[in-house]
Amino acid sequence: MKPFSYFCPATVDEAIQGYGEAQETRFIGGGTNLLDLMKMGVERPAHLIDIGRLPLMKISPHGDGVRIGALISNTDAANHELIRTRYPVLTEAILAGASPQLRNMATMGGNLLQRTRCYYFYDPSYQECNKRTPGSGCAAIDGYNRIHAVLGQSPQCIAVHPSDMCVALTALDAVVQVKGPHGERSINMTEFHRLPGDTPQVETNLQSGELITAIDLPSIPYGKQSHYLKIRDRHSYAFALVSVAVVLDADEDGTMRHVRIALGGVAHKPWRATKAEKALTGEKADKKTLRAAAEEELADAHGYEHNSFKIELAKRAIVRAVTTVVGGQQNG
């Protein structure tokens, strides 16, 4: 591991100032992703700024919604009464990810910044990786690509975003609050992460030196009507092959008034299923309608030698997740 300096600021402003004065710097909270990358030689920061003592560990009402401090652990967020009762899809998604030990260490802000998953990106012995070395190529395209993207990918990168939590936040229209050298700003979850395009090494729309301070969840009157479906190779501690977060409001006859759907395991970022949402709004949740909406959402999907099964899997997952929520409302 490359030697690095270490700084533990007491305030957000100190952290931001420290970042601005040093090159090759990373903020570190729980470190559950960054430290692994450093051990593998994928990340090689010269300076670490430990933000673990900053006053960003509170969950509280914020306007009509809820604000989650960036340093709240995944475990504490999932088990908090405001989250469990008002946004249960977020609790489901967090508890579906990683192991209890990792959830105890991982922070909400750090979870947002997980690097995309790819065997070749995580192994520096493979030279072809546009994330590690822009312009070197993408070994996954012609390699073993079972876990990789089928939506929004580019010839430069087909890596997939790994977070369960972020899929739920995308369906909930969460807003990420950040502070940096140029002040504070808000970034909607749908705009926080980036598709690979020609710059797959740039995974978020954070600017240099910006620090995540909080995540805001808007008021959603029907937020309890939700479900997170995760399909994986094994039930314990595995990344999603495909996942679906659904939040919706339906009449007693199954007509859907409001629909929010996000997909995980299929793209370089959490994928908001806007085509499916539009197709389902105002319609009854019968199998034919749900299947047609899923087909429309995946119409532009493109698979590779080892992951084409994900396209059909994603379609079926959308149908199953929406059916689960509508059925729960009708039986509740």
Query: For 226-331, which CATH superfamily applies?
Result: CO dehydrogenase flavoprotein, C-terminal domain (3.30.390.50)
Please name which of 149, 174, 178 lies closest in space to residue 264, comparing C-alpha atoms. 149
* Bridge partners, 68 (sequence order): 59, 215
Q: Could you give the C-alpha distances from 2 to 24, 33, 34, in angstroms and in order?
A: 12, 16, 13
Tokens, residue 123: 């192994």
Contacts of 48 by beta carbon, 8 Å cutoff, 6+ apart: 4, 5, 6, 7, 25, 26, 27, 28
Each domain of the chain, given as residue ranges in start order, spans 5-50, 226-331
Q: How far apart are CA 224 and CA 215, in angstroms?
A: 19
**Which among 308, 309, 273 is positioned nearest to 294, based on CA atoms?**
273
pLDDT at 20: 83
pLDDT for 331: 59
- Give CA–CA dist 57/234, Å, rounded: 32
Q: pLDDT value at position 22?
A: 67
Residues 6+ apart with CB under 8 A from 129: 118, 120, 121, 136, 137, 138, 139
C-alpha span between 43 and 56 (Å, rounded): 25
For the chain, give the number of residues: 332
The answer to whether 253 touches 284, Cβ cutoff 8 Å, is yes
Neighbours of 63 (CB within 10 A): 9
The token pair at 35 is 């430290």
Where b means 16+ CB within 10 Å and e means fewer, 254-291 reads bebebbbbbbbbbbbbbbbbebbbebbeebebeeebbe
Amino acid at site 134: P
Closest by CA to 190, choosing from 224, 167, 206, 209, is 167
Three-state DSSP at 2 gives: coil
Model pLDDT for residues 100-112, shown as the tens digit of each residue: 999 999 999 999 9
Residues of the chain scoring pLDDT < 70: 21-22, 329-332
Task: Work out the angle at residue 262's Cα, subtended by the Cα atoms of residues 163 and 165, and round it to the nearest 5 degrees.
Answer: 25
Residues 6+ apart with CB under 8 A from 274: none
Q: What is the CATH number of domain 5-50?
A: 3.30.43.10
pLDDT for residue 330: 57
HSE of 234 in the Cβ direction (CA atoms, 13 Å)? 5
- pLDDT confidence of residue 43: 95
Contact 145, 307 (CB under 8 A): yes
